[in-house]
Structure 1
């Protein structure tokens, strides 16, 4: 269901706050009034059943038509959602007493102060003698507690049919339902069938999403959490290691750190601007550094693998080259040129062989001038056999 105070279709709906059910009074013929329980939003179930209250007491067989002079008071609610009740309506204006509330549900912080406001009316000939607030804890077997100013935390104020209950330094035990009653005499029966104002006292708590332990570069969202939505628009203040954070944007209940770094690590707490002295318990955010040993090890392993592959490749290549190259037998002291068989000369007349090479002591002689030829051929390129050097 949706509230008649909705400003946009995108607003979320609530069956608890703000109030949306109301009694509509329509004049009819023959001095009667028709009462209808309406909601500003279409009901999801056309068979929705309404509950009627007459003079604060649930009515088993409600009537739609009532005499216009009736002093009775009516209100209504949706079945199974009795905590969402309409304002009280008097059939005959100015002939009965009514009590309504500005807010039906209030969520407040522990140690703060709240103001529960009521509106009341009464017949001109019946001035109220007592204006009393009661504290009730539904579901518990205990009588309603009548509030007095004897307790210093409780105060009352009254101004033009508005009566206010002020509670200071709220405690968790103050969470309850508060009902205001106007009495014209001491013997008047006080009934608590119709609901009053529900007060929920909560603390602030810091929550981390996804976790209080993150890694550098991650995204983490901090939320200043309460067990119920605070009634009034609230500005939040964030603290890191006890010092308030200076943020460029308007601070709200969510603090986003992205990308998170080691500078963000520390103890976080939060408070509301209207009550900075009441801070949440500190919660620690741990930021782990990115491990650099793994990339370095992987890089070293890759370099070593490349070196090994290159070494194997070069070894294989050198081995193949050495197998294909002609074998040379060097000798420092070679005395005699190997003789060349004659049959090999006959078989290969193209090759020229030299039997002896003499080195002249006269360095003026041109090189190879003392070489004796066994054969001379027209072939210009002459292969040489093994040359042996002999000392004279």
Structure 2
């Protein structure tokens, strides 16, 4: 299997796996610091060691974020976005707004909050901010990198417009964290570990100092009293290690992704790009070809892992809401595929994967 679906999830980095294993020990482990299984809320030596590992990971995650805020670990970005939007809307009751191309984890919350939906252009980029759509004393949701077409949104512009009206800016940074710079002006930032070669089952919400949200859950007052429930040192350590590695490899990973982008564009000259080529995260290639049936393409190229859009909706049979918001016809949306690559994708993988996809298209009568 050649894996070209990095927007859905990324391979676990060996460094993250190693960091996690130290905190998955059991009876007979040589020492609590090196193989401990203790509860980080416990006050004995083993618990304190586990708690220290969680705090090291928190600092590692925060190192890629703006200064002047707190990181709260969550079960993932979906939880972080739900928490930020519903609690933020309660704290700032003036209204809610968000982009039409937000991830369903945000978009479905926006719908339930009767939010103003902000349009994008045919290139998948947010239109210039319309002050009439920005709420007073509310919250605005703007993703950093779109998960389906990779376009980078003007988060700083929306933050300025929101702040001018006393509103908060929530940034879904899941697809951009560790890959592109995070604007300093966001007030709330949602993250996911498994999109940066960390483990599934953990994410985070960064909250700017001075912003008060209601606790997400009550019970044992974990996570600084904001999210009760026993914290997993192993998941935190894996997230932290992945974040530290992303910081260390930021330039190298970026250069590698750019090389693969250039190669893919050379190998798919007949395919039309969905979304702007710039500003865009170049590890995301969403393309279409007239006459292609994307669903059949996936079946015929079954040894290549790629998608038709968001992994959350890929099995629903629905046309991508992102492409439709960009004005792409239903037929063209169904002829579109999303390819994603990153740190562990080789040039040979990409060449062979795209060759298989081109052959699958040829079998559909598309030369």
For normalisation by structure 1, the TM-score amounts to: 0.19
- Greater relative contact order, per chain length (Cα 8 Å cut-off, separation 6+): 2
Q: From the two aligned structures, give the one with the greater strand fraction.
A: 1
Q: From the two aligned structures, give the one with the greater helix fraction.
A: 2
For normalisation by structure 2, the TM-score amounts to: 0.20
